Amino acid sequence: MLKITCQLELVTPAFWAGADRSQTEIRTQSIKGLLRFWWRAIQPNDITLSELAQREGAVFGAGGDKARISSFHLNALNEGHDTTKDNLPRVMLPRAKGREISINILEYLAYGTYEWEQGGNRFIRSRIKEGTKLELEFLFRKSSTSNHDEVLKALEAWVSFGGVGSRSRNGFGSLAFVGPVKVNGVERQAVLSKNLFKDWQQGDSWPQYTAFSKSAMLFETKLDFNSWSECLGELGKTYRKCRMDLEPRNIFRAREFLGAPLIEGKVQRSRFARRAKPYFLHVTKEQGRFRGQILFLPSIFHPKDLDVSTPLAVYKDFNACLERTGTLRRVGV
């Protein structure tokens, strides 16, 4: 039996729960789901969806008529974690002209996890505190050890660019490795996220699902920061500015491509019922310092009556704004 072990740390707090969304829960199944997602994201996008599903089933298992078990068993080991519903650190935007209320950019990024009360927001979702440690143990069946490299790549992609829990695309639940990944006790050399990004930029056309391609872009903060909150706050300010600069506040035809549904005044303004945004905010940690990054992974919008040039133009403007703000630099150019 082949075994992979690693220890992870939450760099930013995580709104991680199960069926009861009011209670935090570290769930093995959600980790496997995230590994599936990032495994798909790094696959060559010139293969058919049928071939992709066949490969995925061989690694992670599949249901239905072609059911097969996963090639590995996953254990998530945690000695306990602290949770809180306290207010997030204050990283305030300058008060806009005519606004009576200042915006905490971290609350902006955590939208949906709190309710407004007289005097401010009250969190209704608990979150696991940053600094929480988690050990993962992958045990591969003897006949499936050849799949371990596939899982390792998915693990590296997830930790480098993704997160856990609600609002993970907004930077909550960001992770970092604590020490090396070990394969049967032997240390595996760490790979920098920017190098992984370059390796996975393949395929000229936009994929049909969220995945790396030559159109993918990675931006990182020019500076590092003393705290996760300061770092994520800077990412959030940049993201919000570029989002608001796309169009006037009473127009909703560009911003809907950055995530739908688009709700304003308790009314759905977007044409799409649900569409995850193609941007992933992430905070990394190294030697006690924090650096932010934004990953752009475009994919095809499926509504048949949609002119594909529309989202293309929106993303072009948005990405140009990310570079123009001076906070971020684009990796690999």
Peptide bond into 261 cis (omega under 30): yes
Residues 230, 280: one domain? yes
According to DSSP, the residues that pair with 72 across neighbouring strands are: 140
Distance CA 285, CA 279 (A): 20
Tokens representing residue 185 in the block: 């006790």
182 and 55 share a domain? yes
Closest residue by Cα to residue 242 from 193, 283, 294, 285: 294
Confidence of residue 302 (pLDDT cuts 50, 70, 90): low
Instruction: Assign 139 to helix, strand or coil.
Output: strand
Same domain, 186 and 287: no
Residues 47 and 167 grouped into a single domain: yes
197 assigned to some structural domain: no
Query: How many independent structural domains does the chain possess?
Result: 2
Residues 135 and 33 reside in one and the same domain: yes
Is residue 271 situated within a structural domain? yes
Reported confidence tier of residue 200, pLDDT bands at 50, 70, 90 = confident
Cα 39 to Cα 60: distance, rounded to the nearest angstrom:
10
Which of 19-28, 45-54, 78-87 shows the lowest per-residue confidence on average (mean pLDDT)?
19-28
Segments forming the whole domain that contains residue 291: 216-326
Question: Of 271, 259, 230, 250, which Cα lies nearest the Cα of 104?
Answer: 230
In tens, the pLDDT along 86-144 reads 999 999 988 766 565 688 999 999 998 998 887 788 888 999 999 999 999 999 987 77
pLDDT tens, residue by residue, 52-96? 999 999 999 998 777 789 999 999 988 788 999 999 999 998 876
Same domain, residue pair 184 and 245: no
Q: Phi then psi for 330, rounded to 5 degrees?
A: -85, 135
DSSP-derived letter for residue 74 is E
Orientation angle between helical segments 28-41 and 49-60, nearest 10 degrees: 140
Distances in Å between the alpha carbon of 62 and those of 53, 140, 149?
A: 8, 16, 19
Residues shown for the chain: 333
35 and 178: one domain?
A: yes
Find out whether 222 and 329 touch, Cβ atoms under 8 Å. Answer: yes
Q: Say yes or no: 140 and 256 in one domain.
A: no
Same domain, 167 and 60: yes
**Mean of pLDDT over the chain:** 89
Q: Residue 123 has which token pair?
A: 């969190």
Question: Are 62 and 144 contained in the same domain?
Answer: yes
The two structure tokens encoding residue 72? 């590995």
In angstroms, the CA 91 to CA 324 distance is: 22
Peptide bond into 207 cis (omega under 30): no
Q: How far is Cα of residue 145 from the mean position of the Cα atoms in its chain?
A: 28
For 245, other C-beta atoms within 10 Å of its C-beta total 13
Considering the domain boundaries, does residue 8 fall inside one?
A: yes
Q: Kindly give the pairing relationship between strand 83-84 and strand 127-128.
A: antiparallel
pLDDT at position 5, please? 95
Residue 196 lies in a domain: no
CATH number at residue 179: 3.30.70
Provide φ and ψ at 15, rounded to 5°.
-90, 75
Rg (CA), the chain: 20
pLDDT of residue 195: 75
Q: Kindly state whether residues 24 and 129 are assigned to the same domain.
A: yes
Same domain assignment for residues 270 and 133? no
Phi, psi at 150, each rounded to 5°: -65, -40
Report the amino acid identity of residue 183: V
> How confident is the model at residue 304, as a pLDDT?
62
Residue 168 lies in a domain: yes
Proportion of the chain above pLDDT 70, given as a percent: 95
Report yes or no on 104 lying in a domain.
no
Three-class DSSP category at 14: strand
